[in-house]
Amino acid sequence: MHAEITIRPFADGDASQVHELFIATNRLLSPLYLRDALEAYIERSLTEEIDRITAYYREHDGGFWVAIRSNRLVGTFGLERASPDAMELRRMYVDAAARRKRIGRRMLEYAEDECRRRNVARLELSTAEIQSAALAFYRNSGYQLLREDVDEITSNKTVGSGLRRFYFHKVL
Residues 90 and 78: beta-carbon distance below 8 Å:
yes
The CATH number linked to 40 is: 3.40.630.30
Asked, for residue 104, whether it belongs to a domain, the answer is yes
Question: pLDDT tens across 31-68, in order?
Answer: 788 888 888 889 999 999 999 999 999 999 999 999 99
- Which tens digit of pLDDT belongs to each residue from 159-171? 555 678 899 999 9
Residue 155 lies in a domain: no
Per the structure, the complete domain to which residue 15 belongs is given by 5-124
Residue 76 lies in a domain: yes
What's the whole-model pTM score? 0.90
Residue 28 domain-assigned (yes or no) = yes
Number of domains in the chain: 1
β 63-69/5-9 pair status: antiparallel
